[in-house]
Amino acid sequence: MKLKFIHILICSISMLYFSSCNSDSSDKSQKEENNDKKEIKDRKEKEEKENDEVTYKIKDDDNDLYAEISISDQSIKITNDKKKYKSELKKDKRKYFEKSGNTLYLVKLGDENKIKLCDEGGKLLYNIKIYKDKIKVSDNEEGNNPSQIKIYEDKVKIKDDQEAEIGSVKLDKDKTKIIVKSKSKSYTINNKELFGAYGVLAIPQIPKMEKLIILAELLMLEK
């Protein structure tokens, strides 16, 4: 009788032990499954964020591709003369670099109403001040003698430092693309929204690559 009791007791303890093990194993499996699901979800969200990219194709008078700007929440990419340039944001500065990794330009973004485009060594090239109805672009810290991009409801006008009109931006008659005109050139952009940012293309004294970076930074603020 005593032996029978001991046997039953051992069996009961064994059942409890295995039940506990199975429960622990089940909990562990469930935890691992939840972690896997979270990892997949996080990866998917990151990919979606990176793929949430807007591309602006700029064509010249001959309908040839002048440049291409791609903007996502993560970065800015520019294609200029078939060369590709990428950017990297660190705190309030964005670096633009070649495929080789050489830094070409630095953009300072401390104030959302101000952008400073500098060379790779940090020397100021252009000072951009953003207002509700205009954008001022100058080549000095004080913002003296700026070119101005004046924004109206249905058009944009570009004026030089003497207030003479040097260009315009508007939608085409079908409202399917943007037309930028300067005194010597014109451009079309595959976009239906009229932004003052496009007016940078009509400022003649700014070199092409620097125009594209300023344009990209202004479009990033519109995104």
65-111 tens-digit pLDDT: 999 999 998 799 999 998 999 999 998 899 999 988 899 999 999 77
**Burial classification of residue 139, based on how many CB atoms lie within 10 Å of its CB (0-12 exposed, 13-18 middle, 19 or more buried):** middle
Q: Which residues are bridge partners to 167 per DSSP?
A: 158, 182
Residue 73's pLDDT is 85
Give the end-to-end CA distance of the chain in Å, rounded to a whole number.
Answer: 83
Of 28, 72, 25, 70, nearest to 46 by C-alpha is 72
Q: Give the CATH class of 53-222.
A: mainly beta
**Which residues does residue 84 pair with via DSSP β-bridges, in sequence order?**
79
Cα–Cα distance, 189 to 86 (Å, whole number): 21
Size of the chain, expressed as the number of residues it contains = 223
- Report the pLDDT value the prediction gives residue 43, as an integer from 0 to 100: 61
Q: How many CA atoms lie within 13 A of 75 on its CB side?
A: 11
List the chain residues with pLDDT less than 70: 1-51
Rounded distance between C-alpha atoms, residue 208 and residue 212, angstroms: 6
Across the chain, the runs of DSSP E, i.e. the strands, are: 54-59, 65-71, 76-80, 83-90, 93-97, 103-111, 114-119, 124-130, 134-138, 147-151, 156-159, 165-171, 178-182, 186-189
Q: What are the structure tokens assigned to 58, written together?
A: 């700029």
58-73 pLDDT tens trace: 999 999 999 999 999 8
Confidence (pTM): 0.77
Cα–Cα distance measured from residue 50 to residue 30, given in angstroms and rounded to the nearest whole number: 30
Determine the pLDDT at residue 153: 92
- Give the separation between CA 8 and CA 10, rounded to whole angstroms: 5
pLDDT at 26 (0 to 100) = 58
Contact 187/59 with Cβ under 8 angstroms?
yes
- CA 70-95-209 angle, to 5 degrees, is 60
Q: List the chain domain ranges.
A: 1-51, 53-222
Pick from 53, 80, 52: which is nearest to 201 by CA? 80
Distance of CA 22 to the CA centre of its chain: 50
Q: What is the pLDDT of residue 44?
A: 53
